[in-house]
Amino acid sequence: MNNGWIYWSITCLSVALFSFCYFAYNHRWIIIHFPKKSYQADLQKHTVQITKKRVTRVYWNNDAWHNEETELLWSDDDKANTLLHLITSWLALLDEEKVMEKKVSVQSVVLSLSGADAYISFDRNPFTKNQSTYSKLLWVEGLLKTVRENGVKVQAIYFLVHHQPLTDFHLDFSNPWSINGFLG
């Protein structure tokens, strides 16, 4: 008599547990994933190819365009990281050449889902209050030329400060700037 009750209890408990698991699986509370590929195949798929590349940095100073070449780590697979290195190098050059009054750094570079737009966030506003609109435009054009001439495949750039649109009284940074620039 006792054994029958134990078997009946175990059977009911097993059916209830199986029913709950089946219900949870159908309602996606439990997800079962069986790997289809080996770990080595996934590792090879996510490996990023990094090379050294000679890049040209373009900037406006003393009423003329200047080109400086340097070598950077470059990856065609990771455009955001490549842009981060390129713009960081460009800003360091501007600081070395005393083109800007204050040192500006890149906080982050993020790409849109399509990869066509880049969002570049700086740690501070790169412009001063007394700076002319013309010099601001040339600064922007220098950055756009640097990105364009090094073959980074983006179509437009959003300029941000602390992940918010850059605010300026002369130029509108609420919309993206075309990588083609505006000077021709």
Query: Would you place residue 35 in the very low, low, confident or very high pLDDT band (cuts 50, 70, 90)?
Result: low
How does pLDDT run across 59-111, given as a tens digit for each residue?
A: 999 999 999 999 998 888 889 999 999 999 999 999 999 999 899 999 999 99
152 and 109, same structural domain? yes
Question: Does residue 123 belong to any structural domain of this protein?
Answer: yes
65 and 25, same structural domain? no
> Helix 79-96 crosses helix 133-149 at what angle (to 10 degrees)?
130
Query: Would you place residue 38 in the very low, low, confident or very high pLDDT band (cuts 50, 70, 90)?
Result: low
User: What range does the domain containing 124 cover?
Assistant: 51-178
**Tokens 């054009």 sit on residue:** 141
- 25, pLDDT greater than 90: no
Radius of gyration of the chain (CA): 28
Question: Does residue 28 belong to any structural domain of this protein?
Answer: yes
What single-letter amino acid sits at 132?
S
Q: Which of 149, 143, 155, 25 minimizes the C-alpha distance to 91?
A: 143
164 and 95, same structural domain? yes
Give CA 140 to chain center in angstroms.
Answer: 19
How does pLDDT run across 65-76, given as a tens digit for each residue?
A: 999 999 998 888
Total domain count, the chain: 2
95 and 6, same structural domain? no
146 and 98, same structural domain? yes
